[in-house]
Amino acid sequence: MPSKVIHLISGPRNLSTALMYSFAQRSDTTVIDEPFYAHYLLSTGIEHPGREETLASMSADHKSIQDSFFTFGDSPLLFLKDMAHHLIDMDLSFLDRVTNLFLIRNPHQLIASFAQVIHQPTMQDIGLEHEWELFKQIVQHDGRPPVILDSGDLLAEPELMLEKLCQTLDIPPDRAMESWEAGPRPEDGTWAKYWYKGVHESTGFARRPSSTRPLPKQCQELYEEALPYYQKLSEFAIKI
């Protein structure tokens, strides 16, 4: 049974998988990859690469999934990599029992990356508006903002930002979080072959040439819609 559950709330293409790999290097931590993905696919009916394979590989019963978080394994820490847009059509009271960590990214890079898999993403796909709504909900309940990490800062100063993140989460810093072996990992969801090519080639937090890819023309309107949500969230992010 974990003594602390760290619940990462991210958008896609935010370095969320890299951060999951980072936490997986800790000897005191177990990680889970996108526990509500099947629930999201069923709730929305959305077509994603590997949809049927994902639905066959995991439970979509969000209540039993939530209950399992608090009895999962023997590690002191449980790290949940979750997507903001997956948190729909469910009781969210479990957010009161976990340490919520928001991961954000400039929507220019986020959308340009996502569009490599889904040609014309929507606000629902990228989850940034929902991330902002969840953030406000948690602030209203707790009276203080949850932890926010900007992936751009993490890439700029990995060692410093990981140390600050651990301090803010009130967990011991661990230099093992700075690197990992290239290739797939056992905690990957079945969808990894569609989405994780870049992170499988990585061994740590470093900017990739693809991070400067241009924004597709068909995504300009989505970028302009998403930018204010990112700006609001970034005001509360851990600073370099």
CA distance 199 to 185: 10
Give the model's pLDDT for residue 211.
63
Residues 106-153 pLDDT 10s:
999 889 988 888 888 899 888 899 999 999 999 999 999 999 999 999
Q: Indicate whether 25 belongs to any domain.
A: yes
Mean pLDDT of the chain: 94
Give the model's pLDDT for residue 36.
98
Q: Indicate whether 240 belongs to any domain.
A: no
Residues 188-232 pLDDT 10s:
999 999 989 989 999 999 876 656 789 999 999 999 999 999 999
Signed CA dihedral, 21, 26, 27, 32: sign only: negative
* DSSP per-residue codes, 15-77: SHHHHHHHHHTSTTEEEEE-TTHHHHHHHH----TTHHHHHHHS---HHHHHHHHTT--S-SE
Q: Domain residues for 64?
A: 4-234
Q: Indicate whether 239 belongs to any domain.
A: no
Q: Indicate whether 215 belongs to any domain.
A: yes
- Check whether 234 has a pLDDT greater than 70: yes
Q: How many domains does the chain contain in total?
A: 1
What is the value of pTM for the model shown?
0.94
CA distance 84 to 35: 12
Burial annotation 70-85 (CB, 10 A radius, 16+ → b, else e): eebeebbbbbbbbbbb
CA distance 49 to 41: 11
